[in-house]
Amino acid sequence: MPIHSDKVWDPLRKKSVTLTPEEEVRQWFISVLHEGMKVPEHMMMSEVAFRWNGLDYRADILVYDRQARPLMVVECKRPEVELTQEVVDQALRYNNALDVRYIVVTNGPKTFMFERGADGFAFMEKAPLWEDMLCRR
């Protein structure tokens, strides 16, 4: 992730973007997804706009399955922002429109992952590989 003064290259948007604290977290988590969880870059998008219930929203990162259906939504916050229930609720609202199986909230130092099951979303101890997420769909 080459950083040039106040800009950073976003491999998903294929352009340089302003390096804000939130953007730094987003770019870090894109690398976690790609390198750690083995998500192909072409199966991710950042800053995805969508509409639900007449309101406009923007997901920080969306991960897709092989049929281009949303699989995971990632909500990124600046490092100093506490990951409260309100932050988790924001990602859950996104799920109303996106119908994902996985939700992630991160501020860099802390990351919480959730998987949807029969009884709703449950906390995950360990990040799954992308291929494993596809098998669970």
Alpha-helix residue ranges (DSSP H) falling in the chain? 21-31, 85-98, 130-136
Architecture of domain 21-136: Alpha-Beta Complex (3.90)
- Give residue limits of the domains in the chain: 21-136
User: Using an 8 Å Cβ cutoff, are 8 and 24 in contact?
Assistant: yes
- Distance of alpha carbon 20 from its chain centroid, rounded? 17
Q: 6-26 pLDDT, tens per residue? A: 999 999 898 999 999 999 999
In angstroms, the first-to-last Cα distance of the chain is 31
| pTM of the shown model | 0.90
Q: 52-82 pLDDT, tens per residue? A: 888 888 999 999 999 999 999 999 999 999 9
